[in-house]
Every structure is written in structure tokens, then in C-alpha cells.
Amino acid sequence: MQYLITMGITVLTMFASVFGVYNFVPFDYLAVTGNTENFGAITEVASSDTMANFPTTYNANLAQLMRMSTSSVDSITTLSNLVSIGTITTGTWNSDIITVTYGGTGSSTLLANGVLYGNGTSGVLAVEVGSNEQILTLSGGVPVWASGGVDETLDYNFTGSVFNVKNLNASSTLILNGISLSFPSTQAVGSSTALLNDGSGNLTWNEPQSFVSTTSTLTISVGTGTTTVFTHQIPAGALSGQAVVFGMTGVGFEGNGATSYELNLSYGGVPVAYAKWVKDNTLHPNCPLGGSEDVCGFLLSFYMINDADGNQRGRLSTGSGTLLEARGYSASVDTGSAQTFLLEAKSNQSSNVIKFDSVFIQILQ
């Protein structure tokens, strides 16, 4: 019996002790101290809280801790870093302008279609938009769009195998492979002209001339008046520089009576040569009418020189007869224009027939 009474008193004492602690002992007496940091919405234990308040405080803090342990941290307002966040996949980013020091542009707006360039630690700048075909270059150390150009004072060496140029506009002097060539300032007059080099790199337009000949015998009735034997039109520029006009023909007389004959050579209407011969009837008698020039004919040669000063002078020569008079005249005719080269003849009798066979002219430059 005594044993039961002792057990009853012990139970009542324990019950009274628990009831007193639970309802009257302060909760902070039993709380863990040393960390009072505010974890967002975690409720701190007040000094006046009792053990009776513990379930409510504990349940609220447990729910908050469970929310903080997930990927959503919607209640946190201040973080020292973003390690706990990771990658932001949704939402709107709102912040102040990020400076260049922290990897930003330092600008709230940037020029549309502008090319960005650095500005030290200050805000990134943009090049003003240019126009089509312009290139990006520097002006005073600042990038700008400008029209392309080539510095004509510099030397350029293109090493590619092909260099195509649509239109080449150069000065009158062009250097090719080390050779300096000076071109004329105007286009050639007429077709079939070519550029000729005077040996010093000066190019002139010329019509290539080899020879001009007649394919048939010219039969001329020559009297005491001057008669045209033949003419040849020398093109403009054909005698530019130093040149020689050389010609030759076979001459024969038909009939009789003439004892002397004269020949005149002119260029551009200006005389350049004159000669007078006495006909040698022994060596070259008159050809019978319709006779052969191989028996009674002789050769007549002539030439005209255009010298470096642009002056002309000529000579007439034949192996027949005695030369009575020979003259060479100095002329200054414009070779830049087309001119007529003319051979004329006359005799000391009123009526004679002279045959000029195979007349040709050759221009030598």
C-alpha cells in the first residue's frame, strides 16, 4: 500500500513540474543562442514567449524554411550574390545603367545602325551612320564613315596575277615595264592609223605607208606649159618627226623634137625641188611610136626629206642627159594636215609624148 502511495505522489509532482514549465517558464531560457540573423520571414523567439507559444512559432518557421529550400525565393529582398539564384529564365530585368567597369555599355540608348566603339571607362559611343559605298576610316583619331579614296602621293605595288581596270585615266605620260611613253592629246583623224615612237618615247598618230604605185603606164602629152605627171595625197601626220618621201619611175619619149625637159616637185603647193636636163639622143633616143621603153627609156628618181625641225627639201635625179640646172628648195609645210605631193613636167617643144611607167612612192620613217 505504501508503495502505491509513493508512486502517486511522484506522478503528481512530475505533472505539476511540467505544467509549470510549459505555462510559466520563458521560452528564450530554453532557446539556442548565438545566431540572431534575420532569415527573411523567419520569426524570432521573444523573451516573453512561453513553451505554450512554441507550436505556433515552430510551425510558421518550418513552413518558411521549406519555402526557402526550394528554387523560389520570392520573399528575399537582399542578396550579396546570385549564386543561389542561378539562371534567370523569366521575368523583367529592372536596374540602373551598368557601367563599363562592370561590363556594361554605360549608356541607356544606342544609335540605331551605328557601329560601337570604346571610350575608355566612359560610356560606349556609336559612329554616325554613313552613306552607301562609304568606308570606315579615322578622322582625328575618331572612327567616321567617309568616301573611299587613294593617296596619289604614295607608291603602290599590286602583286596579284590579274589587275582589271574598267577605265584608266592617266596623264599624257605612261610608264610600262620601265618604258616612258608620251601619248598624243587628241584621237587620231581617220581610220587605219597607228601610234609610232620617235625613239624618245613620244608617240604620234600615223597612217602606215609602204608604197603607192601605178599599175599601168602614164602617157602624158607634154608641151611648153607645165603638165601634172601624178599626185599623191600624204595623210596628216604621216611625216611627223623625221621622214623621207622617196619615189621612182621609168621615163620614155615618143616622137621627136624635144631636146630638153624640166621637172618640178612640190609638197602642199610649195616647191621643194627643180631640175632641167638636155636629152641624150645617143644613149636614149626617142622611142618609136608604140615602141618598147626597155630600149629607149631611163629611170627618174626623186625624194623629199622632212627634218627634225619640220622643214622639207627635195631632189630630182636621172641617169640620162646632161644636167643643166638643179635646185633644192626649203619649205615649211604643216605635216599635221593632209598635203598633196606633186610631180610636174614640161619640155622645150610644144608637143611631145612622155611615158611614165610604174610610178611608186614610199614613205620612210
Question: Which domains, from first to last, does the chain contain?
Answer: 2-68 (no CATH), 96-107+116-127+134-149 (no CATH), 212-364 (2.60.120)
Q: Is pLDDT above 60 for 28?
A: no
Of the pLDDT bands very low, low, confident and very high (cuts 50, 70, 90), residue 364 is: confident
pLDDT at residue 35, as a whole number: 40
Q: Is pLDDT above 70 for 151?
A: yes
Average pLDDT, the chain: 75
Q: Contacts by 30-39 with C-beta closer than 8 Å and gap 24+? A: 39/64, 39/65, 39/68
Tens of pLDDT along 203-244?
888 766 555 655 456 666 676 778 888 888 888 878 877 889
Question: What letter represents residue 185's amino acid?
Answer: S
Q: Which of 148, 105, 112 is nearest to 127 (CA)?
A: 112
> Which alpha helices (DSSP H) does 161-236 contain, by range?
none
Of the pLDDT bands very low, low, confident and very high (cuts 50, 70, 90), residue 9 is: low
Of the pLDDT bands very low, low, confident and very high (cuts 50, 70, 90), residue 268 is: very high
Which of the residue ranges 31-40, 104-113, 140-149, 243-252 would you say has the lowest mean pLDDT?
A: 31-40
The four Cα atoms 105, 109, 111, 115 give a dihedral, to 10 degrees, of 10
As a whole number, mean pLDDT of residues 170-197 equals 80
As a whole number, mean pLDDT of residues 285-296 equals 52
pLDDT at residue 331, as a whole number: 94
Q: Is pLDDT above 60 for 48?
A: yes
As a whole number, mean pLDDT of residues 56-65 equals 71
Of the pLDDT bands very low, low, confident and very high (cuts 50, 70, 90), residue 170 is: confident
Of the pLDDT bands very low, low, confident and very high (cuts 50, 70, 90), residue 172 is: confident
Tens of pLDDT along 100-138?
888 888 888 888 888 888 888 888 888 888 888 888 888
pLDDT at residue 32, as a whole number: 42
pLDDT at residue 196, as a whole number: 79
Q: What pTM was computed for the model?
A: 0.44
Instruction: Please measure the distance between the N-terminal and C-terminal CA atoms of the chain and give it in whole angstroms.
Output: 164
Contacts of residue 178, defined as CB under 8 A and 6 or more positions apart, other chains included, come to: none
Q: Is pLDDT above 90 for 140?
A: no
Of the pLDDT bands very low, low, confident and very high (cuts 50, 70, 90), residue 39 is: very low
Q: Which three cell numbers stand for residue 354?
A: 612622155
- Which helix (H) or strand (E) segment holds residue 2: the answer is helix 2-24
Q: Which of 282, 304, 284 is nearest to 292 (CA)?
A: 284
pLDDT at residue 8, as a whole number: 64
Of the pLDDT bands very low, low, confident and very high (cuts 50, 70, 90), residue 90 is: confident
Concatenating the DSSP letter of every residue in 59-77 gives: HHHHHHHHHHTSS--TT--
Q: Which of 239, 263, 215 is nearest to 360 (CA)?
A: 215
Tens of pLDDT along 305-351?
999 888 999 999 876 667 788 889 999 999 888 899 999 888 777 66
Tell me, rounded to whole angstroms, the distance of Cα 163 from its chain centroid: 9
Separation of alpha carbons 47 and 101, rounded Å: 48
